[in-house]
Structure 1
């Protein structure tokens, strides 16, 4: 029930504060809009309160009441805006209770109103405490979601950058690979045209020589004809005197006529016959080589070469175990598909053990060459991260260059094993602190990688290694490492495949290559001496 002061400003029709009140002849006031709506409904112009008929179709506005209503509304709005939202708008009483059904605060008068009949009420402070706990729980949930969303936003932004970086890197690789194919086609075109020009020059020289010969023959015939014509016009005695000589000259000049030599023309089928097929076949070999990777593992015994090979292959193929003696005694190779590409890993024994017999060393070197022919894409020098680098370790790359030929270091990568021993430390810091390790990395063109062979499911470390190998190959502008030693090994393999190969001992063939037996023996002797000195110094340090 509205307060008395408020009832004075309520329209009897809409039961709300007057809006443009009009004054009827019966002294009652009604909202102008409510009055016209009432008249349209009833069909007669009568007062909604007393039913007295109004003589005026458009009653005048009650300006006094209108001004009072506006003042009342203004005053009420000011009260509400000044912090009086705790006052009931209907009864102007303080809001102390909370209706559980309507979910609204009410005053003590409201609980007896018909609107809240049979409703349950609770003190506001009790409800506020319960609701604040609920809101606080929801707020914490929203804050966690906001934090997670911000984290995801950062990841999404990073992903966008990675997508762009991947796209740019992939685009460069696409261009480089197509450039490789374009260069191959240009080289094939140039080689074919060069061969054509060489044959052209050769056959032009041959025909030039034949032209000189036939010109000499024509000159001789012409001279014989002139001499015989003169003899025919001479006297009988002179004719008879010259006849025997003339007939002899005629017989000499009556040799077989020169003929066009066979094969004088350009052998066109040699260049155009199956040209597209031959080029396609060579291109197929290049594409196959681009997707294939041959890797040779090098290093001392016990550094984790075989375990690294198993990590690359993603399966246990090489024997690997903790042992005081060498586990790998001879070269072996395993082929597998890794990251959608064909990968061949060649595992080697400790080729840098100077106690190894010279003949056995040469045999294993030659065997690794045969297994990785036509040439390895990368030499992986394996060192554990916890190795105490000696002068001998530092000279391993130099020994490899002596064994396998020059420029081998352009195709080398240092592969550190036992990455789990870093325990969160950076390999860069370790390289920076160890001068011998730093020198070794610099010798290999600052190319290095870390393997954790214990983390077998981490294939990302293998993918990263293959990407570094791809980058090295692109920088070298050459598919794989090769020299005369590898070319001869490939030729032997092809001959063996065709059934023409001779079974020769690898160590005998090795004498033809860059590893000279005497030089190798001298180097091994020097290495033994160095190792003995290092061993003596190490014993002294321990003592």
Structure 2
């Protein structure tokens, strides 16, 4: 917790004034990924709650877009003698390919949700949730990457990062992160190059949920800072 407080204190010194005027920093995230990739579980970790239904199932679990909001995180930043609070908003989306819904239905559902929830506030980052133990193969028209491109438009590369779930499987297989990425498919390597190597590994074993959350949020804040705190708005 102390490390995260230090990070956010440093962050407060370089945030644009417009973002800090309300004494509150809100981070808007959207989750994309294939069915059973771990989107809802990752969303719960980001929120520090159990807002999203997550369970093993032989079919797609998430059918509708749902927005979750974290509690306000106090005591991390100060500016002008006033405390700045941090809040995370996460949009969970149906997996695609979906076992029951067509691509057109899923895309329309997500498009409307992005416009409704982040139309004016804007989206800071789209997280492509990818299982570390499932190779990312050739991009097809039905892939989550293709959907992100269609929904976010030409600037999608600036607003996309990969969240590798089940990263403990990498360690179990005897790899470290660098070795894992070195052996990755050409499709994944091309994607990582496109999004300026914005990626996060999510581990479960050996880490508490709070530790997982803080480490992931640290990386996300770094990406947002590198992107100069710009947001993508929707109409």
Any unmatched runs of 5+ in structure 2? 75-85
* Residue 135 of structure 2 corresponds to residue 384 of structure 1: no
Using structure 1 for the length normalisation, give the TM-score. 0.36
| Partner in structure 1 of residue 145 of structure 2 | 397
Cα RMSD (Å): 3.0
- Measure the CA separation in 2 of the matches of 1:408 and 1:391: 19
Q: Which has the larger radius of gyration?
A: 1
| Partner in structure 2 of residue 84 of structure 1 | none
| Partner in structure 2 of residue 345 of structure 1 | 90
- Measure the CA separation in 2 of the matches of 1:293 and 1:459: 18
* Higher relative contact order, structure no. (Cα contacts within 8 Å, ≥ 6 residues apart): 2
Q: Aligned to 1:296, which of 23, 30, 34?
A: 30
- How many residue pairs were aligned? 216
Show CA shifts across 1:468-515 (max 9, x none). 222222222234222xxx2x3xxxxxxxxxxxxxxxxxxxxxxxxxxx
Show CA shifts across 1:231-287 (max 9, x none). xxxxxxxxxxxxxxxxxxxxxxxxxxxxxxxxxxxxxxxxxxxxxxxxxxx9634x4
Q: Aligned to 1:366, which of 90, 102, 112?
A: 112
> Structure 1 residues 339, 414: CA separation in 2 closer, same or farther (over 3 Å shift)?
farther
| Partner in structure 2 of residue 333 of structure 1 | 67
Give the stretch that moved more between structures: 398-407 or 347-356. 347-356
Q: Is the 8 A contact 1:295 1:376 kept in 2?
A: yes
* Residue 214 of structure 2 corresponds to residue 463 of structure 1: yes
- Measure the CA separation in 2 of the matches of 1:432 and 1:476: 26
Q: How far did 1:436 drift?
A: 2.4
**1:62-77, aligned counterparts within 5 Å?**
none
Q: How far did 1:451 drift?
A: 1.2
Secondary structure of the 1:301 match is coil
Q: Is the 8 A contact 2:32 2:144 kept in 1?
A: no
Q: How far did 1:356 drift?
A: 1.0
| Partner in structure 2 of residue 317 of structure 1 | 51
Q: Per residue, is there more strand in 1 or in 2?
A: 2
Any unmatched runs of 5+ in structure 1? 1-161, 185-281, 489-543
Q: Is the 8 A contact 2:129 2:162 kept in 1?
A: yes
